[in-house]
Chain A
């Protein structure tokens, strides 16, 4: 089957009547029709999105009086030249991979979980509650308990919106979004109430036990076990979606719940399980931040990783490899923007703007992915 940009070559071959001949020059360009985009276009689109994003970002940088090219070099290349920056990218990558996968699982099932931020904090809360109790445990066991706690807490916080969606048809977007605020307030209440340090007055939870801390996976760095867990979960995400019956059902429901129902898929339980898995994975991200980085829970432990996860998932096309690439890129932008802020004085919030613009541009650019070069059929003209 001929594929790729064969439209231009084919144009010369199909001779038409003289009347159509007059319009020929226009049709030398490949024409487009609705349909799945060819693979080369789908690979090109993210690059196009990045290009447009940086074009827009350079306007903002110019407004700050800096040289956009210099800022981009500092943002995207300089971090690779220093060991600490390279490792910090991996540290940042860990929660973004997890929230990205979490969001992708739900979105794949057509369930718009906006609540990864709250579910992340639910996991962090579980880690802060369990961690101090695990003193004297053997380390692998303690870490397993921490991970299970995070999985359970994240899934638990995702349960109510999922149940409401499946059994009462309540839109999940609003409920998951509002529960984010509720969870942040709950964490705030604990930190400023029972957990407030009586001596320093600092709002932080008790330190978790040594045994419950995630070990470093790279010496002399903050890269912790969470990264390995995240990569395993990415692989699992791929395997489940591509190779299991449940994955097939999730994809079917995401493409069209009605059609899936006719094919005999139990739409309710599929959506419910996908939503809970999504929450569980987001919960692990919270455990990682507590047990891998801080050792206790504080406010602002996640600078909106849950929302960034939505960018990661969308930009990554909801695919395992795409999400990994997207999370790596956003982690680089995150670290790079602080580097650029230090050396060139551009506000570090440039990173936030770049990520937001990237999300919007990606959404728009993905529209192009719904088109393919028109195929010429026999006897068809122009």
Chain B
């Protein structure tokens, strides 16, 4: 029992940044944009959040900086993929390369070649509730974890019950028809990109301001790609995205636990699991199910 509770608590921690980023990516993909910039957005957000927190002395300033970074890089993605109607894969990849490049460039500029990564004096702490009890272990999470969990029903409600959600869905499925109905396709896509970017930024902030309390080059380490996999696994639905993130969290937490206890596990294989499962899901469903029909298709009003 205790083992299970500890494992669940760890799984929630591991799942948080992935969940935040995946929810953001889900929003963007719902609008018909595949944002491959996610990995670089998370890294640069983790960095700006860290730097802002360190120089201002306030973690909240750090969170705001991380969100702003996510929004700004996503705006650039919007300029390229929505306004200019450029190839989404290559633009997104360019954003990732840019975000990583900028993070590493400014990191080196600010901290030189320090051998020990600079750490925050104080980072976000886990909720200290009912110390010493199992329930306390389970509930003792960072506030960002609770936020991420709250976002799941909130986004589910927004997507299915609000006019914005319906427009988002329609823009991702059939932008021409929505345009005829008087909805500004560009605006909806931008809104989705910016909101999604904010969530990716929060995912980055979680890593540097809460979980690690520091910044390192490999802090994101493919979590953005995992998020992309989980959005597909989650069939573009918030609750199933949560499920996917938790599943990933559990496998990861289990692997870390076993490793710590000296059980030899080929942890690389476990880490590869989400990718393989996603490819399997894709292979089985093909291009049907809930794949936003207009995904990857730039929308041009003049139809050129």
Chain B residue with the shortest CB-CB distance to A364:
B84
B104→A352 contact, CB < 8 A:
yes
User: What would 20 more interface pairs be, CB under 8 Å, given A64-B109, A114-B89?
Assistant: A114-B36, A168-B282, A170-B283, A170-B286, A170-B287, A171-B282, A171-B287, A173-B296, A174-B34, A178-B228, A178-B275, A182-B272, A188-B268, A304-B97, A352-B97, A352-B105, A356-B94, A356-B97, A359-B97, A363-B94
B101→A181 contact, CB < 8 A:
no
| Contact of A248 with B by CB under 8 A | no
B228 to A: closest C-beta gap in Å: 7
Q: Contacts A64-B109, A364-B84 known; A189 to B94 CB distance under 8 Å?
A: no
Cα-based distance from A359 to B296 in the complex (angstroms):
19
Q: Contacts A310-B90, A353-B98 known; A347 to B108 CB distance under 8 Å?
A: yes
Contact size range, B: 35 or more
List of B residues within 8 angstroms of A347 by Cβ:
104-105, 108-109
Q: Which of B87, B104, B229 contacts A363 (CB 8 A)?
A: B87
List of A residues within 8 angstroms of B154 by Cβ:
none
List of A residues within 8 angstroms of B95 by Cβ:
360
List of A residues within 8 angstroms of B266 by Cβ:
189, 193
Q: Contacts A171-B287, A364-B84 known; A63 to B279 CB distance under 8 Å?
A: no
A169→B91 contact, CB < 8 A:
no
B49 to A: closest C-beta gap in Å: 19
| Contact of A141 with B by CB under 8 A | no
A256 to B: closest C-beta gap in Å: 14
Q: Contacts A178-B278, A186-B272 known; A314 to B296 CB distance under 8 Å?
A: no
| Contact of A349 with B by CB under 8 A | yes
A279 to B: closest C-beta gap in Å: 16
A350→B90 contact, CB < 8 A:
no
Chain A residue with the shortest CB-CB distance to B113:
A347
B74 to A: closest C-beta gap in Å: 14
Cα-based distance from A381 to B91 in the complex (angstroms):
39
| Contact of A112 with B by CB under 8 A | yes
A178→B229 contact, CB < 8 A:
yes
List of A residues within 8 angstroms of B109 by Cβ:
63-64, 347
B296→A177 contact, CB < 8 A:
no
Q: Which residues of A contact B (CB under 8 A)?
A: 34, 60, 63-64, 112, 114, 160, 164, 168-171, 173-175, 177-182, 185-186, 188-189, 192-193, 304, 307, 310-311, 314, 347-350, 352-353, 355-357, 359-360, 363-364, 367
Q: Which of A168, A182, A349, A359 contacts B283 (CB 8 A)?
A: A168
Chain B residue with the shortest CB-CB distance to A65:
B109
A369 to B: closest C-beta gap in Å: 12
A300 to B: closest C-beta gap in Å: 11
Chain B residue with the shortest CB-CB distance to A167:
B286
List of A residues within 8 angstroms of B272 by Cβ:
181-182, 185-186
Q: Which residues of B contact A (CB under 8 A)?
A: 34, 36, 76, 80, 84, 86-87, 89-91, 93-95, 97-98, 100-102, 104-105, 108-109, 222, 225, 228-229, 232, 266, 268-269, 271-272, 275-276, 278-279, 282-283, 286-287, 295-296, 304
Q: Which of B86, B102, B228, B276 contacts A177 (CB 8 A)?
A: B228
Q: Which of A170, A174, A352 contacts B228 (CB 8 A)?
A: A174
Cα-based distance from A212 to B45 in the complex (angstroms):
45
B99 to A: closest C-beta gap in Å: 8
Cα-based distance from A112 to B91 in the complex (angstroms):
12
List of A residues within 8 angstroms of B101 by Cβ:
349, 352-353, 355-356
B301 to A: closest C-beta gap in Å: 14
Q: Contacts A168-B287, A173-B36, A173-B296 known; A112 to B268 CB distance under 8 Å?
A: no
Cα-based distance from A54 to B108 in the complex (angstroms):
20
Chain B residue with the shortest CB-CB distance to A189:
B268
Cα-based distance from A169 to B109 in the complex (angstroms):
45
Q: Which of A60, A181, A186, A364 contacts B105 (CB 8 A)?
A: A60
List of B residues within 8 angstroms of A60 by Cβ:
102, 105
List of B residues within 8 angstroms of A169 by Cβ:
286-287
A373 to B: closest C-beta gap in Å: 18
Cα-based distance from A64 to B102 in the complex (angstroms):
12
Q: Which of B89, B98, B105 contacts A112 (CB 8 A)?
A: B89
A173→B34 contact, CB < 8 A:
yes
Cα-based distance from A189 to B294 in the complex (angstroms):
38
Count chain B CB atoms within 10 A of each CB in A164, A357, A363 and give the residue with the most: A363
B80→A363 contact, CB < 8 A:
yes
List of A residues within 8 angstroms of B287 by Cβ:
168-171
A267 to B: closest C-beta gap in Å: 16
B159 to A: closest C-beta gap in Å: 21
Cα-based distance from A256 to B36 in the complex (angstroms):
24
List of B residues within 8 angstroms of A307 by Cβ:
93, 97
Q: Name 24 interchain pairs, CB-CB below 8 A, sorted by A.
A: A60-B102, A63-B109, A114-B36, A168-B287, A170-B286, A171-B287, A174-B229, A174-B278, A177-B36, A178-B225, A178-B279, A185-B272, A189-B268, A189-B269, A310-B90, A310-B93, A311-B94, A347-B105, A348-B108, A352-B104, A353-B102, A359-B93, A360-B95, A363-B86
List of A residues within 8 angstroms of B84 by Cβ:
363-364, 367
